Amino acid sequence: MNEKTRNFLVNRFQAYYSQTEIQPPQEYASREWGFIHFSGSSETFMERHRAFGSEGEILDQLKGMAPAHAYYSVAYYEYPAAPKMKEKNWQKADLIFDIDSDHLPGKINSYAEMLEKGKKETFKLMDFLLDDFGFDENDVHIVFSGGRGYHCHITDPSVLHLESPERREIVDYVSAKGMDLDRILDIKEVSGDAGRESAQMLVLPSEEEGGWRGRINRYFISFLQEITARDDAEKLLTGFKGVGKKTAQQIVEVFRDESQIEVLKKGNIDVLSGVNKKVINALIEEGIRKMSAVVDEPVTSDIKRLIRFPGSLHGGSGLKVMSLTIDELEKFDPLKDAVVFGERSVRLKVIKPFAVQMKGKDIEVEQGEQELPEYAAVHLMCRGAAEYG
């Protein structure tokens, strides 16, 4: 960006910090702080190894320097301002999850669609953290990153002293990495009638079991109930590898019978004895893909990571980094609720065509001089799509 653009953005960020109360994280004096400033250079430099002894010092830094990005460490140190990591004396660290919306599978057509996809993935992660791990909602802190997705901070004392390998195992669990289907779909020997040898019966975990086992039972049933309720159920089912017309008919008959559903909930899938085990495995694998949460493993396993400061502004979008409760996340619209700048008109030179939806408005601009509301102008300048004036 040119100098005029840099000065404009610094001025607007300063105005925001001068009018805003920001709550520092717990034990902020034990954390390392870092900042990236607006620059006309293509090179990015982080000012780090900073420490603050009071909330006023943090706010003064934000008001004075108006950084493009503000971070603090997930770790708590004895000497957070020490210039070398080994001198800081690591004590503990919050457990952090990062969901980058642009890294999620599937096609994305717009920024708004990308953020909505990240929000849905965050809810999937919440299911694991609250149900499977049993964390209290008060120890689970959701943060909209201001850019591409969401962070989740866990401050439960039971996880603060975990090392990187243990944190990596948690990521493996929520992402279903290394899931062994043979441990999910059991084969049990059952006694045959008089004069017959024992037979084999497939058994699923019951819906009441904890963790992935019960989760798979519930998904397997709800997924097939949803399909078999449709008029074109047989056609949809034959789209799965190994499912022919006869097998599809059997699946439809079973999942439209409530008494059979109750049997399946208890884990007995002998009612699907005519369905090849490979087909059942394929359906379960589809369920695992849909239920698992896609998180950035290096962020979680890094016990010295710097993470965005909630309440600060994101220099790549102009949006606010926002803390959210689980209830607030449900109705949260980042391109409305995280917009902090107003409607006054700003003249700018658009470098490349750009489209975004903000405050419920579809904003599309072509190359050349334009006048836009300040919130949109700041966003375009932060994204590198326009220069000021």
Q: Please identify which of the residues 270, 296, 333, 337 carries the catalytic annotation.
A: 296
**Residue 302: active-site member:** no
- For residue 324, the one-letter residue type is L
Residue 190 near residue 201, CB atoms below 8 Å: yes
**CA–CA dist 47, 373 (Å, integer):** 32
Name the helix (H) or strand (E) containing 30: none
Instruction: Residue 332: count other Cβ atoms within 10 Å of its Cβ.
Output: 19
Give the residue from 145, 151, 144 showing the smallest Cα distance to 331.
144
β 345-350/386-388 pair status: antiparallel
Q: Is 296 a catalytic residue?
A: yes
Query: In sequence order, which residues have a C-beta less than 8 Å from that of residue 216 and are 6 or more positions away?
Result: 184, 204, 205, 284, 287, 288, 291
Facing residues of 386 across strands?
350
Q: Could you tell me where the beta strands, DSSP code E, fall in 40-183?
A: 46-50, 69-73, 75-77, 90-93, 95-100, 140-144, 149-154
Total H helices, total E strands in the chain: 14, 17
Distance of CA 194 to CAs 189, 191, 202, 381, Å? 15, 9, 21, 81
Active-site residue flag, 231 = no
Which residues, in sequence order, are CB contacts of 155 under 8 Å at separation 6+?
26, 94, 139, 141
How many other C-beta atoms lie within 10 A of the C-beta of residue 255?
A: 23
Q: What is the rounded CA–CA span in Å between residue 220 and residue 291?
A: 11
Query: What are the residues whose beta carbons fall under 8 Å from the beta carbon of 363, sequence distance 6 or more?
Result: 354, 355, 356, 357, 372, 376
Q: How far apart are CA 20 and CA 311, in angstroms?
A: 8
Q: Which residues are catalytic?
A: 98, 100, 296
